[in-house]
Amino acid sequence: MKKLILNHSFTPSTLKNINSKLLQLRAENDPDESKFLKLVLERDEFIQEFLKNLPENEKNKFATAELQVNGALVAYAEELFKASLNQLSGLVRGRKAVKKYK
């Protein structure tokens, strides 16, 4: 897995804390998707409020930097989805095998 970089030069401290929680979650062997969703939603809410209070010239710089971070988060979410899909398909195959041998 590629290293996930969530902070940039415009990241405020509150957002750094949320990002830190996301990175801790990512370090787990079997991350909880519901925790990931909760943190991503918390992150989004913070960013929306933060943008409202920024001057226009700083908004553009912050938003540009956040686009890259969001791309990395989307890629990580896709990794989680694929891992969940693999687990589910393994479970379905296992269930079929058990039924076959009953």
On whether residue 68 sits in a domain, the answer given is yes
On whether residue 62 sits in a domain, the answer given is yes
Most confident of 31-35, 37-41, 71-75, 87-91: 37-41
pLDDT at 62: 95
On whether residue 3 sits in a domain, the answer given is no
Task: Supply the Cα-derived Rg of the chain in whole angstroms.
Answer: 18
Structure letter (DSSP) for residue 2: P
One-letter amino acid identity for 68? Answer: Q
Is residue 10 within 8 A of residue 69, CB to CB? The reply is no
On whether residue 6 sits in a domain, the answer given is no
Number of domains in the chain: 1
How long is the chain? 102
**How many percent of the chain have pLDDT more than 70?**
97
On whether residue 5 sits in a domain, the answer given is no
On whether residue 8 sits in a domain, the answer given is no
**Tens digit of each residue's pLDDT (9 = 90 or more) over 56-88:** 989 999 999 999 999 989 888 888 888 778 777
Q: Can you give the residue range of the structural domain that contains 19? A: 13-100
pLDDT at 86: 78
One-letter amino acid identity for 84? Answer: S
On whether residue 39 sits in a domain, the answer given is yes
Q: Name which of 35, 16, 13 is nearest 26 in CA terms.
A: 35
pLDDT at 9: 93
Q: What is the pTM of this model?
A: 0.76
On whether residue 79 sits in a domain, the answer given is yes
